[in-house]
Amino acid sequence: MSEFKGCRVQLQLFTGESLEGEITHLQGKSIILKSDNESVTLEGSKIKDLKVVELPRKQKKVKKTKNEPKKEQKEIKEKKENNGKKLEEFDFAANLKKFDKKSVFEELEKQEGVYSKKEVNIRNDEMIVADNNRSNPVSANSSENISDKTIQLNNPVETRANSTKSLFATGNGEQLSTCAPVQLVQINNYLVNSCKLSMTNLAECGGVNLSHLILSTKIKSVIMFVGNNNTGLIALVTARYLLRNFSVTVMLFNEKEDEILDEISQEMERFTCLGGKIVEKLPKKDSNAAIIDALQDFDTDFTDLEKEDLKSVLNIVRFINSSKGLKISLCTPTGISASDSGIQDLEEVVFADHIVSLGVVLSSITGMYKQGSYQMQSKHWLVDIGLPAGLKGKLKKFERKWSEGFFEISLI
């Protein structure tokens, strides 16, 4: 790291945070970064990537003193004469290529004595990926259970009380980033206005992959609660594909006919035309049926509902929690706020066996685990809904690889 002393750098931390400033001092395994008249001390093990944006400033010229020997005064005079000549323009790009970040970090890793994977399962301040094999969607006729493919890691939280919780992918070995609701609005606007992609396009892709995931659980029927939103649209497309294998019953939450989104209305017509069943009241409980909770989207807020509507939501939540079948929540479990991870104005929230994120993982997912407002029952999945790979290049905040197919993510 001594090569970077005095340089102005951009640091990418394992926590996802980005910092920019000048490296002023090195203290053992730590660096001191100065930015906006503030100094921050960082451990080298917390730095994921480093980018030099400005080389060290030239040192000031040494002033001539009366007590300097004649030889030194002569050398200074010669330097002054040479300084009068026009210097060649400094090639910043060419010199920047000389910095070998990989070898620097490897040297730093050796000096800090990082433990091998056999000695420790995971460090308490880093995200570790488990495997480099990519999990592919299985066919509808496949009898292989996806859960047999996933890799289970010991949870270090049990042995490390102060561990930092993060999300990592066990299916394709990719470190996961999370996304706030306001960023999802930016994504949707870009897709519609610049890429000319509608939510219907993404829902079709998401429905195919989500149906593969549900089929792998070997269930016999499905009861689905959908909202008048994008999550509900993906759920309805999924229901249409599932009809080829077993019966599906759908209940649209308490929406007036003139308020239903056009995409939702059209998908409901396709669903019923192919033999799907839509009900207006809570269906009969079926211990063999899987329950799909698709009421909430990333911008859903139940605090705006009237008392009667809130009561209806609460009845659905209690119906889901009392069911004996497999329970799956899409986007976020009903009752958990997608914006701040808190519990909305409900007496209960849905406690699902599986949570499925659609396209990207909401930042509130990690928040609700950290705050203790929700406890993961079994597994968390991320399903591809067809977000373009080139999107991350257009939106600088989203420097991550989009999911392909689906794979399990675990909380550590």
Mark which of 68, 95, 112 sits at the end of a domain. Answer: 112
Whether residues 277 and 355 fall in one domain: yes
In the block, which residue shows the tokens 């009752």?
Answer: 335
Which is more confidently placed, 147 or 22? 22
Q: What mean pLDDT comes out for the span 359-377?
A: 70
Read off the pTM: 0.58
Whether residues 174 and 92 fall in one domain: no
The pLDDT, as a whole number, for residue 166 is 54
Whether residues 107 and 180 fall in one domain: no
- Residue 289: closest CA among 346, 242, 253: 242
Whether residues 256 and 189 fall in one domain: yes
The pLDDT, as a whole number, for residue 256 is 74
Residue 225, in any domain of the structure: yes
Whether residues 74 and 209 fall in one domain: no
Beta pairing partners, 221: 247, 289
Q: How many structural domains comprise the chain?
A: 2
The pLDDT, as a whole number, for residue 150 is 34
- Which of the given ranges, 99-103, 147-151, 295-299, has the highest pLDDT on average? 295-299
Which two three-digit tokens encode residue 236?
């309805």
Whether residues 215 and 322 fall in one domain: yes
Which two three-digit tokens encode residue 228?
């008048």
Q: Which domain holds residue 322?
A: 167-411
User: What is the tens place of the pLDDT at every residue in 196-255?
Assistant: 888 899 999 999 999 998 988 888 899 999 999 999 999 999 999 999 999 999 999 876
Residue 24, in any domain of the structure: yes
Which is more confidently placed, 250 or 369? 250
